[in-house]
Structure formats: C-alpha cells, structure tokens
Structure 1
Amino acid sequence: MTDLDTAYEPDDEKVERHASWAELFFDLVAVAGVAALTHVLGLELDAAGLGVYTLLYLTFWLSWTTFMLYGNISAGRTRVVRLMIGMIGLGVMAASVPGVAHTVLGHGNDQRPVTVFVIAYLATRIYGAHSWRRGEILLDFPVVQYSAGLLPWFISIWIQERWKPTLWAVGVGLDLLLILAVSGDKLLKQVQAKFTAGAATRRRRRPGAGPGGTGPVIQGVSVDPAHLSERLGLFVIIVLGESVVQVVDAAAGAQYGIGLLATGIAAFVLLAGMFGLSVVFGYAGLPHLSAGRISTRAALGLHCLVTGVVATLGVSLSSVVGHGSDALPDSGRWLLCGAMAAYFALGVATGVASRSSDPQRTISRVITGIAVPLLLGLLATDASGRTLVVCLALVVLAHLWFERRSVPVRGEV
C-alpha cells in the first residue's frame, strides 16, 4: 500500500510528465473558489464590486500558482498530503467568499467570514511558500517564495472594516510588484552571498572549526515547460467549464422557451470558441501563443489575466440568461463587452509576442476582436443581452474560422 505522504519516483526519468490526478483535483478546488466569486458581482456590479472581485480572484490565483509551481518543480517528489492541505485552505477561502462580499460591500456586519478568509489565505500562502526543499530558489517566478505581500493582509485582521480592502490591495500590489521587479538570478546570488557571509562569520567566531558546516547548498531551479503549459491549459479549460456550469445553472431557473434555448446555444458557442482559440490554436491556454516565445513569468502573468477574464465572462453570460430578452443595464453590458474585448486584446498581445501573425492579421484581430465588442458596449444600449451574446459568438466563430484556415492546429495542451 502506498503512503499518501511518500514521494513517487518514476523508474524512467525521461518519461514525459503529465498532470497527476492529485494536481487535477487541486485545480478543481481552486476553480471552485473562483466560481464562488460570482457572489461578489451578484451583489454590486460597480467599481467597488469589480475591485473586490479582482482582489479576491488574485488571492485564489496566487495560492493556486504557489502549489502548482511546487508540483512542477518537485515532480515525482510532490507530497500529495501537502496538496490536500492546500486544498483545505482554498476550500475555506471559497466558503468564506459570500460572507466577505456581504460585509466588505456594506450588506452586512458579520466580521467572522472576513477574518476566516484572511487567516485561510495567509495560512495557505505561507504553507505553500514553505513547500520547497531547503536551498531551492525558483528562478522563473520567485514571488511564490516571498511573504512580503502577506503583511498588509495580516495587519488587516485588526483594522476597521472600511480599511481592509485598501490593505488587501496593498498586499496584492506588493506581490504584483515583486513579480515584475524580482529577478530569480539576482535572488539566487543574494541568498548565496548571505549564506557565504554567515558561514565566514561562524568560522571567525570559532577559529578551530573546520571548513564544514557552511549551511545548505543553494541552487536555482527552473520549471518544466511542457508540464507548466499543460497545467496552465487545463486550468483555462476548467474555468471555461465552470462558466458553462454557471450558464446552465442560470437557465435552470429561467422561463423555458425558444429565446432561452437561443441564448444558451449562443453562450455555449462563445465559450466553446474561446476553448478553440485558447487551447486548440493557442498554447498554455493563451490564444495565439506559440511555444517558447515568451518567458515563464510573462506566460503566468498573461494566464492570470486570461483566466480572470474568462471567469468574469461566465458571470456576465449567466446574467444574460437571467435577463432574457430585456436589455442589460449599462454596467452589465460593459462587463460583457469589456471582458470580450479584454480577451481579444490579450490574444493580440500574445500573437505579437509570438510573431505568429503579419501586420494585416493583427489589425484585423484588433478591429474585429477589440473594436467590435467596444462599439457594442458603447452603441447597443437598447439591444437585449441575447443579441449581444449572439453577436459576440459570431465574432469568436469568425476568429476560429480564420485561425483554422491560416494556422495549423497545435493540438490540445
């Protein structure tokens, strides 16, 4: 019988790695947390609601990334129990989201869910950051081994409720700044210098001591690109699937009719088309991206944005199903059209970075993928949500058609 906390060492290290069952289980729990964020936009579809939604989404993504990269580096040494403890933390965070949304957005005064969420986030991130073997420095994305961004979250436990989101924003901002500013190579040199200086100090204090006892060996480690691209692609697929679930759940409570059927089909076509652009014609879940074209840090940053946009789109589509043939309010229309424009804007960025398209194709992507959704948001004030979804689905299908004609299928990630 295999001990859950015993690392599995493959017999042939050259065997191509794929996501393990435990990693897939972990991804599902993380996406369940992202799905819980629908409670935030369901309460307030304004700047405050979007701000809280973004902050909470980033907490789930950063927590997921910490454990995902641990599994990527550890490979056969990954501890299943460690992943499951991380899942418990994510589960507690997800269960606390509705209470956090009610309290932070001024719909309630119960501070307990807020405190539970903050403690669970702190514990999950800290535990994940200490998953690495002693002496390992992740060169590609070192922010997961830092805790500086958690300090404002810790302070927020004792701060008045109206200041909590500000401190959370500062904490997340520090993490994002570290992603941009911290170099893995420089960090490795700093840590090596620190341990070398510490060892020299200990030798001076003990003149008779031998050369041993210099502390742990510090080494830089890098991600497995193939395994990373698979995990990123799978996460996008699961988020798309969760968006389909939200549409189905909204349809179950709506009045049955031809209009509902048309809206449901259009929403499914739109999400399925995004699957095609991100996975079949993309790489690592990013549309228009080619393998080996951008750095790991850039790929992770773009992945955060793409999955956030897809999750937001799921909320918008479920709202459209609920409104039926009625026109969406301005905030709902802009959320739907803005999310689609953001998705295609990210696709343009990855396409340019991949050098996978000529200027003419890039211009066409900008016009059809960015300009059309923005014009719909600006001008289609009287159009029903159903009409908007159909138009956006046609845009996605047009992009798929052009991709299929001009780009060979790269296969699922």
Structure 2
Amino acid sequence: MVNIDEEPQDTTIERHASWTELFFDLVAVAGVSALAHMLRPELDAAALGLYALLFLALWLSWTTFMLYGNVAADQTRVLRLMVGMFGLGVMAASVPGVAHTVLGHGSDIRPLNVFAIAYVATRVYGSKSWQRGAVLLDFPVAQYSAGLLPWFASLWVDEHWKLALWAAGVGLDLLLILVLSGSGILQRVQSYLTAPERTRRRSRSGVSPDGMGPVIHGVSVDPAHLSERLGLFVIIVLGESVVQIVAAASEARYDLGLLATAIASFILLAGMFGLSVVFGYAGLPHLRAGRIPTRAALGLHCLVTGVVAAIAVPLSLVVRHGSDPLPEHVRWLLCGVVAAYFTLGVVTGVASHSSDLPRTTSRVTTGIAAPLLLGLLATAVSGRTLVIYLALIVLAHLWFERRLAPRSLPMKLPAAPGGS
C-alpha cells in the first residue's frame, strides 16, 4: 500500500535560529557584500543586471539550506550546513573575478566557471538534504534542479553565452516558484503510485500491495523559525551596509558635514530596520502574520534584501564626497533604491490586506513619488542634502507607523507567514 500523508507540525515549542544557522547567514551575507562592492567602479545597466543575476543565485542557494534547517530542526546535520557554507564562500570569492571579466572586459573566464560550478554543486547538494520521500509543500523548487541545467551547459560556452544561460537557469527557477505547488506535486505522485498498472506491476514482482510501497509525505516549514531567519537575514544585510559606511567614514575628512551625513545615513538604515522588523514581519515592511503564502513571502524577501544591500554603495560614496552633487547614475541608484523599497512595502501591504486606501496612497506619494522626484530634479543638490531628505522621508514613515501601531506592539520579530 502506498502511504501518502502530510507530516504534522509541532507548534508547541517555539524554535530559534541556532548558532550554526547564524554562522551560515553571515557567510551568505559575505557574498551579498561582495556583490555590493561590484557596483562601485562603474554603475550602469550591465552592472545592475549582473548584480541581480548573481544575487538571485546566492539567494536561491541560501534559501535551499535555510529551508532544510527549518524543516529538519534538531535533526539538521551541521556538516551539511558547513559544506553549504563553503559553497557559498566560493561563490562570494569568485564575484570580483566575474565582475572584472564581464564588466571590465577581461579575458579570464575561469572565475565564471568557478562561480557556476560552485552554484550547481551547492544547489544539488542542498536539494539532496531532504529526507527521502518528503515533499516540501511551501517551496518545492528547493528540491528540484531543473534550473541548474543551463548553468551546467554554460561551462562549455563563451562568456556572453554563459550569462545568457545563467539568466535562463535563474528565470526557470523563478518560473517554477510561481507555478509549482507542493500540494499539487504530492497529489500527482499519489496518482502515479496508486495507478492500477503500477499496483499490478508490484504484485507481479512479488511485492505485497498492502504496505510495501514507498512512503511519500508532505512537510511544511516552521512559521516562527522561518520568520526569525528571514528577519535576521535582513538585519545582517543592514548591518553590512553600516560596516561599509563606517569604512568609508574612516577614510573621509572629519568635519560637521561628515557627522551630518553619517547621522542621516544611520537614520535611513535604522528606519528600514524599523519598517521591516519592528513594524513589519519576517523582514518585510507592512506584512502581517499569516496573510500571504510562504513562497510569496520568500519572493518578496529576495527583492527586499537585494534592494537593501544595494543602498550601501551610494551611501558610502556620499560619505566620501558629501559636499558635491552626485553623478546622475549614483543619484538615481540612491533614490531608486528608496523608491523600490517603499514599492515593495506597498505591494506587501496590499497583498496582506494590512493597508487601507488612504494609507496606501500616502505611502505611494511620499515613499515612491518623492524619492523619484528627487532623483529627477535634485541634479544640483549635494549628496549630503539628498541623503538627509531621504532620511526624513523614512523617518516620517516610521513615525506614522508608530502612531498607527497599537501600544502593545512587541518590539521583536513577529510570528511567521503561513503555508503555501
């Protein structure tokens, strides 16, 4: 008999991230930091496209192991996470070489092959972590490797085709995230294994049809643990941005202008922390627990962390050259990142039904339209003044959220989004 059931979740004890998981997150954020540094020399469409492509690859690798640890809980194998960390470390270390070859028109394609091999090996190894017969209902793409085929094929083509195949592989994974349903996969497996011809085949082979067939079960994420891991990842990315700003300030001339820039930059990053963690949920601004599916929360988390990681680049440049107007591409990156962050907040608020029409309109006009207008019109404004304007926008949103929040709002990570 084929036994197909859904594994129950024990929600009586709230789990927290282990030391190994925190170490794993720090290694992943090291890759995010390397990607942010990649944007510094020359910021254009090609650099942003490469940043997005490599960030998605890093995030998918991190998510595969993060979800494994979430589901496996106390049975998580530390050695397996360590191997995943090493793979992420190799990917991070090869980012500068990839950027030099692609953006600097270098001729050495070995860093691209190293990144591709590390990505394929890390994803394959991570996808094999699951218990045999278990189907992850919330994010099944973590168990499947179809999107890795273009990456594997890219090892035998030249640079331009490599990037095209990488984009195709990541695009296929993103498509599978949208269309794959864990429950649907479980039902299809059930139909396949209980088909009459397979039952007759097992009988002819001497296998008893009353219990000797494979056991297939569905597994779901631990919501509270998932919320904590997603929120912690956003916090660590914000912390990495602070580190880059501090490093830039250590090389700048100390004066009142530097102090004003540092305070405004810190307010901007601290405001994002408040909106994402204190008044948000699972690291997502304006999200409420249990309002959207897990895979939707994961997709939004990928976008939010990618946006937050990119803001360190223009802020560091402002710290160094705060009294001068920013170059056009840097100004647009700074204002565009803030506008993108609030755009994702609006999407999250609407999707989770936590925003009414007046609140959504306010967020669109002040959080999206105002930064974009600054990017368009503030051509002669110093970088320092521009950061102060953006910090005031974030601070106003933070004040507004605190006014609307109940007085009993806990200053900690809330519980996590629901299932698929």
Q: TM-score, normalised to structure 2's length?
A: 0.92
Distance in 1 separating the partners of 2:54 and 2:348: 25
Residues 172, 13 of structure 1: alpha-carbon distance in 2 compared, 3 angstrom cutoff: closer
> 1:8 — aligned with what?
none
One-letter identity of the residue aligned with 1:90: L
One-letter identity of the residue aligned with 1:50: L
Residue 181 of structure 1 deviates from its aligned partner by 0.7
One-letter identity of the residue aligned with 1:310: V
Most deviating of 357-366 and 29-38: 357-366
Residues 44, 196 of structure 1: alpha-carbon distance in 2 compared, 3 angstrom cutoff: farther
One-letter identity of the residue aligned with 2:411: G
1:77 and 2:75 are equivalent in the alignment: yes
The answer as to whether partners of 2:199 and 2:209 remain within 8 angstroms in 1 is no
Residue 410 of structure 1 deviates from its aligned partner by 3.9
Residues 170, 406 of structure 1: alpha-carbon distance in 2 compared, 3 angstrom cutoff: same
> 2:278 — aligned with what?
280
Distance in 1 separating the partners of 2:37 and 2:286: 32
Residues 365, 13 of structure 1: alpha-carbon distance in 2 compared, 3 angstrom cutoff: closer
The answer as to whether partners of 1:287 and 1:347 remain within 8 angstroms in 2 is yes
Distance in 2 separating the partners of 1:106 and 1:161: 13
Q: TM-score, normalised to structure 1's length?
A: 0.93
Q: CA RMSD in A?
A: 1.6
Distance in 2 separating the partners of 1:93 and 1:410: 38
**1:359-413 residue CA offsets vs partner (Å, 9 max, x unmatched):** 1121111111001000000100111111111000000110111111111334321
One-letter identity of the residue aligned with 1:176: L
Residue 318 of structure 1 deviates from its aligned partner by 1.3
- 302, 305, 308: which one aligns with 1:304: 302
Distance in 2 separating the partners of 1:201 and 1:46: 62
**1:305-333 residue CA offsets vs partner (Å, 9 max, x unmatched):** 11111001112211222322111111111
> 2:175 — aligned with what?
177
1:218 is paired with a residue whose SS is strand
**1:261-288 residue CA offsets vs partner (Å, 9 max, x unmatched):** 2111110110011111111111101111
For residues 95-174 of structure 1, the aligned pairs below 5 Å read 95-174=93-172
Residues 14, 43 of structure 1: alpha-carbon distance in 2 compared, 3 angstrom cutoff: same
Residues 205, 353 of structure 1: alpha-carbon distance in 2 compared, 3 angstrom cutoff: same
The answer as to whether partners of 1:282 and 1:288 remain within 8 angstroms in 2 is yes
Residue 357 of structure 1 deviates from its aligned partner by 2.9
One-letter identity of the residue aligned with 1:43: P
> 2:361 — aligned with what?
363
One-letter identity of the residue aligned with 2:412: E
The answer as to whether partners of 1:254 and 1:321 remain within 8 angstroms in 2 is yes
Distance in 1 separating the partners of 2:37 and 2:275: 28
Residue 16 of structure 1 deviates from its aligned partner by 1.4
Residues 410, 302 of structure 1: alpha-carbon distance in 2 compared, 3 angstrom cutoff: farther
**1:322-364 residue CA offsets vs partner (Å, 9 max, x unmatched):** 3221111111111110110010111111222232232112111
For residues 205-224 of structure 1, the aligned pairs below 5 Å read 205-206=204-205, 208-211=206-209, 214-224=212-222
**1:188-207 residue CA offsets vs partner (Å, 9 max, x unmatched):** 1222333445853642652x
Structure 1: gaps (5+ residues): 1-11
1:137 is paired with a residue whose SS is strand
One-letter identity of the residue aligned with 1:336: L
1:285 is paired with a residue whose SS is coil
1:157 is paired with a residue whose SS is helix
One-letter identity of the residue aligned with 1:390: I
> 2:418 — aligned with what?
none
Residue 255 of structure 1 deviates from its aligned partner by 2.3
Structure 2: gaps (5+ residues): 1-9, 414-420
Residue 13 of structure 1 deviates from its aligned partner by 7.7
> 2:339 — aligned with what?
341
Q: Tell me the matched-pair count.
A: 401
Residue 108 of structure 1 deviates from its aligned partner by 1.6
Residue 215 of structure 1 deviates from its aligned partner by 4.2
1:37 is paired with a residue whose SS is helix
The answer as to whether partners of 1:282 and 1:410 remain within 8 angstroms in 2 is no
> 1:262 — aligned with what?
260
**1:4-23 residue CA offsets vs partner (Å, 9 max, x unmatched):** xxxxxxxx983211111111
One-letter identity of the residue aligned with 1:151: L
Residue 35 of structure 1 deviates from its aligned partner by 0.5
Distance in 2 separating the partners of 1:270 and 1:211: 63
> 1:320 — aligned with what?
318
- 40, 52, 55: which one aligns with 2:50: 52
**1:172-213 residue CA offsets vs partner (Å, 9 max, x unmatched):** 10000000011111111222333445853642652x443368
Distance in 1 separating the partners of 2:211 and 2:116: 39
